[in-house]
Structure 1
């Protein structure tokens, strides 16, 4: 077993290591205290709101945009993790407090889930385009192409699933128009990478991004 002599223990390296450990332990303790306070606060708020479920629908219109933003965020994180869609059931399980009590005992409104997923398509579009702008080499472009193609297929499936329901939900109908535009942009990314980007190893980031501005007529259905 290696022992540390007094001279070694006073060396700058050992001292820095001890300082780091001290700071880390202090930070860990502070983080634990913060987590405890947060859990107590959430529990107190939950207790105050318990029994007020009858007021949920009165204020639903006010909180709905926030729910949609949350659903968009967690579903985007889910896609980045395993390239799958966050299911309504999994979302319901996530919306519970530390004691397992659901935040929405009557169930999360399905319409908020649908609207949040529709918003997800716009976030995926921005992710696909930003990925192109951050890559320039041929090998990297192939990876981006594969990712962009997967996003394109995913967004296309989401659009196909949501479109039939947009006839019954006016807000979804408006969002689906944005989804259609987002899908078009992702298709342009895939087209640019497959035809213009991957075919030329010397193509720069500037050229790839500028080639995304394609004539929309290229995507119109031919009679």
Structure 2
């Protein structure tokens, strides 16, 4: 018997022994599949919890964005900005729950569950940052605020206050793709802000927004088709928002002197409807 025949014979013997063991002890097979079932059920439950938390993050972020749009209609926006800060603090607490669920897990296995909420949060926090500073918030600044202290409390007898034990620092890192998608959605909110500013007779903000959106568009143009598919898909919407803001600036520059300020918004709205009557709200 040569070496190859000997290896083949030993392999057949090993397979036969394994088959005999499984047939002799079928409970081991059932135990293995029950383990697989438990693991899959655990991941599914975690995925569903993340979907629910992400939905809460989305809702609260949208409410913050709606609140921030009021800054163009009030003389003093400090109260609105402070209220937006409080709302975003609540959103960050929800993101802390996501970080807790993802502790020790591969986040990309669950990324689709929470990415809609994170994108909406990026949109809200970048909108607030632009209103305050007239600039784009960086990914590093966003992630720096997503650091959470997870501490279990112990309440020993006779102590006035519970003492923290086993304190752990949890961090959540927004991915570059979620950051880019959130910034792409921000352009639609800035376009709405432009419309509101024109309606209130503010002729400076539209020109500031036009320059800012042009810079964002140029930045996305550098990425082109090399970035995630969703980013290139939203580039079309970004260009539409930029076109509408530039059209508003054109209207203000050419016809602003002959149209009363309270009618500029109506003129601008009718022109944007002619540009893309089927698009709807960005």
TMscore range, shorter length: 0.5 to 0.7
1:196 lines up with 2:251 in the alignment: no
Q: Give the match for residue 170 of structure 1.
A: 229
1:120/1:102 CA distance change after superposition, 3 Å: farther
How many equivalent pairs are there?
Answer: 164
Q: Give the match for residue 212 of structure 2.
A: 154
Mapped partners of 1:44, 1:88: distance in 2: 17
- Runs (4 or more) in structure 1 with deviation over 6 Å come to 41-44
- Structure showing greater Rg: 2
Q: Give the match for residue 112 of structure 1.
A: 178
Q: Give the match for residue 75 of structure 1.
A: 126
Higher relative contact order (CA 8 A, sep 6+): 1
The alignment yields a C-alpha RMSD, in angstroms, of 2.8
Cα deviation 1:171-212 (Å, max 9, x = unaligned): 111111000000000011111112112x13x61523542245
Where does the alignment leave 5 or more consecutive residues of structure 2 unmatched? 1-89, 151-167, 276-282
Match of 1:64 among 90, 95, 115: 115
Q: Give the match for residue 5 of structure 1.
A: none
Mapped partners of 2:250, 2:100: distance in 1: 54
TM-score normalised according to structure 1 size: 0.65
Note if contact 1:115-1:175 (Cα within 8 Å) is conserved in structure 2. yes
1:166/1:67 CA distance change after superposition, 3 Å: farther
Q: Give the match for residue 31 of structure 1.
A: none
Note if contact 2:149-2:170 (Cα within 8 Å) is conserved in structure 1. no
Matches within 5 A, 1:178-193: 178-193=237-252
1:150/1:62 CA distance change after superposition, 3 Å: same
Where does the alignment leave 5 or more consecutive residues of structure 1 unmatched? 1-37, 136-140, 217-223
Mapped partners of 1:189, 1:166: distance in 2: 26
1:188/1:103 CA distance change after superposition, 3 Å: same
1:184/1:50 CA distance change after superposition, 3 Å: closer
TM-score normalised according to structure 2 size: 0.52
Note if contact 1:72-1:116 (Cα within 8 Å) is conserved in structure 2. yes
| Larger strand percent | 2
